[in-house]
Structure 1
Amino acid sequence: MSTQDPITYEIIQNSLRAISDEMFSTIGKTAMSPIIYEVLDMATAIVTPNAELASAGSGIPAFVGALDKSVAKIIELHGVENIHDGDIFITNDPYYGGVTHLNDVVLLKPVFYQEQIIAWTVNIAHWNDVSGKSPGSMSVDATEIFQEGIRIPAVRIFADDQPISGVFDIVVCNSRMPEFLKGDMWAQIAALRLGAKRIIELADKYGVEVYLSAVDNYLAFGEKMARATISKLPDGHYTIQELLDDGTKLNIELDIVNDEIIVDLTKAPAQSSGPNNLSRDGTLLACQLTLMGLIGDRNMANGGCFRVMKVLTEEGNLYHAKAPAACGVYFETLIRLSDLLWRCLAEQVTDQLPAGSFSSICATIMGGTHPDTNNHYSIVEPEIGGWGAGKGFDGVNAMFSPMHGDTFNCPAEIAEARYGVTVGQLALNDEDGGAGQFRGGKGIVLDYIIRNDNSFLTCAYSRAKVPPWGLKDGEAGTFNRIEVLRTDGSTERHAMATEVKTNTGDIVRVITANGGGFGDPKQRDPKAIADDLKNGYVSLDYAKSVYNYHGEG
């Protein structure tokens, strides 16, 4: 490899991040579905020829670590010698490099320079419907992956820069919303092509050897940064256990040895008969997500950072499921694993991390016939909630989970126009909970008013029975759930449910948890308590009983 001055390397490395972000922006500006162009449920990346993450754009943090794994599977299945300029590959199957679940579709393009692969441009986005037994392609009662949608097993969808019509048509045909699917897919294809063009421009400008050397240097820097972070933590063997809402016991073992972390998940529960399983690659995402939280620089995520972590799994358990196990609700297992790793570090290793957050994607899927167009519609929404408090600061209100990162809630105007519901309210959760010297952040209350009969609700919420954990004598937070307020005055409570029938005038009320508190509530500043009362964050009775507040401040 050729060597080069550090300024040139820095220019190339920053250019890679800019290219990743430009690909991200391209998808956001051209996609059809609000889950992509408003919520930004997607990610983009540049991957090295040998399947290490070279640079990541904006987007869902957990997705970023998925894309190098997708490239690795394509290379494994097809062989480098059978990959050609003008190819584009597609996968969504967690057992074929799709990593997550069938709704998250990965598109991959090798970037050739003088007959040599010098990079891959890759992106992933959530498609609203990819067939399966339930609209939205997610159901909490699925027992095998065949019920969750079409499986696309890492196949070629473009050759010589032209679509392979048979594959293309099969993918489009297997959706209840084919026009949205086509629009989203072409947005991802455009981003791949743009990224490839920019990378070739870099290689033209600086020379391919300098370009490849700069990438290697960038990965080495990522590894150095990660090792420096881990070396500051005390060596030791740490264990922790926690219950899921259904009573399943999760446990992990964590070893910190010099500048490496070893995560042992071999004692995990057996894989589930339901859809909350993780592929091994999905489990790696959870661990890498926590690692990047420790490092604290999301923009510097690359494959070098991940060299410091070893993850041990046992095939056939919850964190290394065997096909055809269902994976549609993988995200709740992923986020709870990441949260448990975080809790282990926060309670036993370092006091620099905050308490537990609402730690659920709170997936809300609604659909039916649009009252204005008479077409089928599907809402697929992650929700925002309260984060945990930390040493010296209150928790953040109404923020997406750490897994979802750079995403946004869908504006009411878009939801009402595209989805055919009315948004009745969006407010902070005024329930008491998460007390501490520093209080947990507030979740939300969000009302969707149904506008047509024979509609449905599917939801996947965890922490509906086991609340976000407090830290250093801080109190636990509150609970995630959905309440369906019927027109007859009755109320139903749901957390994991499939195709609950809803009709005109029913209200689907989303309630997300307040985060856990940090420190003894009796130590909270009376002025801060007075502000909490003024803002409606706590009730007066709660302030008196938990904070021992008597009007100070």
Structure 2
Amino acid sequence: MKATIIETNSTPFAKEDVDTITLDIIENALRNAREEMDATLFRTAMSPGIREQGDAFPLIADRNGLMVVGQFGSFIGGFLNQYEGDIEEGDMVWLSDPYSCEGAVSHNNDWLILRPIFRNGRLISWACMFGHMTDIGGKVPGSLPTDAVSVFEEGVRIPPVKLFKKDVLQDDLLKLVLHQTRMPEWCRADLLAVVASCRVAEKRVHEICDRFGDEFYASATDELLSRNKRAMAHLINTAIGESPVSFEDYICDDGRGFGPYKIKCTMWREGEKVVLDFNGTDPQAMGSINFYLNENMLKMFFGIYMVMVFDPQIMFNDGFYDLCDVRIPQGSLLKPNFPAALSCRTHALGRIFDVLGALLGKGQPEFLSAAGFSSSPHLMYSGFEKESGDWFQLFQIGFGGIPGRPFGDGPDGHSLWPGFTNVPNEFLERYFPMRITRYTSLADSGGAGSFRGGNGILMTYEFLNNGIVAIHDDRWFIPPWGVNGGTPGARSSKILRKADGTEIPLPSKCDNIEVEVGDQLDYITWGGGGWGKAFERDADLVALEVKQGLVTKECAYDAYGVKLNEDGTVDHAATEGKRKELAAAHIDGEIFDFGPDLETLRENCKAETGLEAPIQPSW
């Protein structure tokens, strides 16, 4: 650890026995404090990305920087390893550069605040949060250029610096950074909202310590981490075998016309440890889809998936991290060399969840899910308002289809991150020069199965002001796979319909698309893959979904084998015959349905998508 913690009291924390009931009280007090951090942020931030959608991640850590409660795993270790300075009571550290903190944050737009919490001269805890800033400068509005080749094109990079020293705001530093952004008022408000959230957590930690004592609090956080480790050790031992299993999936393109890019992981257990080895992942891309993946962040991804799939009652924290051995090749897509561009890293981030889900499902087929909405697609719209001349800038995260699962359908139009919410259409129309003419689940976009993949979303924006649009998305070329007889979900697409009637298919990653008054954009996200054989799905449920507009009558017959009468009820005799036909044609044995192979996808790409197939990258 390079960072130096300045403590005026060098007395070690004494170990105290912590009873189960009091431990649960402290656990829930910390959980509530973490929720209060979110509430404070969402009520005081200005940008819709944070205030409306919740693109921010809080945590409360122990004195060693291990997350005790939170959402995204601890950022603190990477910071402490690279910060060549001291940490004192009253400091608040601010950073955003992934290369300055071992990938503790993954792109420059995420502004991270770290607050050390001292008690009686000793560091006892940390409060931290980062939030996505709408704009931090750089070559394009939104600071997420799809065609960037280096991090220097992606806006201001903030190394670890002290925003507060002894609780005094370093206003000149803040002014210097805000001067680089197109949205200084929003960035200032959002940053200070993050600061306020960390202060709330600090206050709650002090209240817990006032009630139970400093030594007891330190012992309780130790035990909360140990309890997580014991639970995760049991899950790892029962869910993961010693024989290696491998899986690979792809990012469709890099925003510069090359792709697809492979992410491969092999998993096995050695004693009580799980090994996650990403050898075989493609080298880093020239474009901005690289993801500088901190090993602890990958452990967090793995832990979240294990807890949510196998035992959601386990309190997720960093306690189990030394049970994971993560191996990521340097110079690969997931650990690029400086100064590789990182602004489109969300596609790799999401695809890792699909890969982990497939690996765990291979060992435990009863828990296998299909591929789902493994990304956070962005729409950015900006320009100068024609009447006032004021600059406007929208950053919005899109939603899509969650995969079919062994216990139910995938939700329609949901987020990769469960805590994200949509921006209300009324908000968009009130604060931006646009009209939302359609916002609907796209029928048949979810893969067919006994449990249906969630449908993607069709959202149509009508622009009321000239401006420029940027898009970040994926799964336009390679579809999200189905499992256990379920079919792949539909791919994403973006169509710009000009006011004169011309239709232009847009790439999934593009910047500086000029739009004029009256133009419309059909923003279509992909659906989740299906789970299980579609011809085994309850026929009356299929009929209901046709009535609800989630499945078309044609798909009900062709994929599910359900024949409907004119009044929408099931024709049981015709349905039985069609389902026998589908069952006879079905071939058992294949777990995954990836759809057409890459060669076929390339051959048909132009006809099916209106876009040229990506060029296979070479290194």
- 2:34 is matched with 20
Query: Larger relative contact order (C-alpha < 8 A, sep ≥ 6)?
Result: 1
Distance 1:298 1:380, change over 3 A: farther
Distance 1:306 1:365 in 2: 37
- Contact 1:458–1:498 (CA under 8 A) maintained in structure 2: yes
Give SS of 2:360's match: helix
User: CA offset at residue 124 of structure 1?
Assistant: 0.6
- 1:513 is matched with 526
Distance 1:433 1:110, change over 3 A: closer
1:204 paired residue among 204, 210, 223: 210
Distance 1:253 1:169, change over 3 A: same
Can you list the C-alpha shifts for 1:71-97, whole angstroms capped at 9, x where unaligned? 541464135xx2111111101111122
User: CA offset at residue 432 of structure 1?
Assistant: 5.0
- Contact 1:362–1:480 (CA under 8 A) maintained in structure 2: no
Distance 1:284 1:54 in 2: 14
User: CA offset at residue 243 of structure 1?
Assistant: 3.4
Distance 1:528 1:39 in 2: 32
Are 2:556 and 1:543 aligned?
Answer: yes
Distance 2:560 2:344 in 1: 38
Amino acid at match of 2:433: G
Distance 1:234 1:88 in 2: 41
- 2:23 is matched with 9
- Contact 1:354–1:390 (CA under 8 A) maintained in structure 2: yes
Give SS of 2:225's match: helix
2:182 paired residue among 169, 176, 182: 176
Distance 1:287 1:505 in 2: 47
Moved over 4 A (4+): none
Alignment of 1:26-45 (within 5 A): 26-45=40-59
- Contact 2:349–2:375 (CA under 8 A) maintained in structure 1: no
Structure 1 range deviating more: 497-506 or 390-399: 390-399
User: CA offset at residue 390 of structure 1?
Assistant: 1.8
- Contact 1:70–1:99 (CA under 8 A) maintained in structure 2: no
Are 2:347 and 1:332 aligned?
Answer: yes
Are 2:328 and 1:313 aligned?
Answer: yes
Alignment of 1:497-508 (within 5 A): 497-508=510-521
- 2:100 is matched with 96
Structure 1 range deviating more: 476-485 or 431-440: 431-440
Distance 1:298 1:305, change over 3 A: farther
- 1:484 is matched with 496
- Contact 1:143–1:274 (CA under 8 A) maintained in structure 2: yes
Can you list the C-alpha shifts for 1:497-526, whole angstroms capped at 9, x where unaligned? 111111111112211112111111222222
- Contact 2:445–2:526 (CA under 8 A) maintained in structure 1: no
- 2:601 is matched with none
- Contact 2:63–2:124 (CA under 8 A) maintained in structure 1: yes
Amino acid at match of 1:106: L
Distance 1:84 1:520 in 2: 60
Can you list the C-alpha shifts for 1:294-345, whole angstroms capped at 9, x where unaligned? 2123882211133322210111111111211111111111111221121222
Distance 1:400 1:23, change over 3 A: same
Structure 2, unmatched stretches of 5+, are 1-14, 253-258, 565-570, 573-619
- 1:77 is matched with 83
TM-score (norm 1): 0.94
Distance 1:13 1:358, change over 3 A: closer
Can you list the C-alpha shifts for 1:174-208, whole angstroms capped at 9, x where unaligned? 11011111111111111112211221222122111
User: CA offset at residue 371 of structure 1?
Assistant: 4.8
Distance 1:549 1:167 in 2: 65
Are 2:122 and 1:107 aligned?
Answer: no
- 1:195 is matched with 201
1:459 paired residue among 468, 471, 485: 471
- Contact 2:240–2:363 (CA under 8 A) maintained in structure 1: no
User: CA offset at residue 381 of structure 1?
Assistant: 1.3
- 1:157 is matched with 163
Can you list the C-alpha shifts for 1:462-487, whole angstroms capped at 9, x where unaligned? 11111111010110000122221111
Structure 1 range deviating more: 525-534 or 329-338: 525-534
User: CA offset at residue 258 of structure 1?
Assistant: 4.9
2:318 paired residue among 303, 306, 327: 303
Structure 1, unmatched stretches of 5+, are none
1:222 paired residue among 224, 228, 240: 228
Give SS of 2:439's match: strand
Are 2:449 and 1:443 aligned?
Answer: no
Distance 1:432 1:69, change over 3 A: closer
- Contact 1:432–1:542 (CA under 8 A) maintained in structure 2: no
Distance 1:32 1:197 in 2: 24
2:424 paired residue among 411, 423, 434: 411
1:350 paired residue among 359, 362, 365: 365
User: CA offset at residue 234 of structure 1?
Assistant: 4.5
2:547 paired residue among 531, 534, 548: 534
User: CA offset at residue 257 of structure 1?
Assistant: 3.8
Equivalences, count: 539
The alignment yields a C-alpha RMSD, in angstroms, of 1.8
The percent identity for this pair of structures is: 27
- Contact 2:250–2:262 (CA under 8 A) maintained in structure 1: yes
Distance 1:104 1:237 in 2: 35
- 1:400 is matched with 415
Amino acid at match of 2:36: E
Return the index of the structure with the highest Cα Rg. 2
Distance 1:147 1:464 in 2: 25
- 2:485 is matched with 473
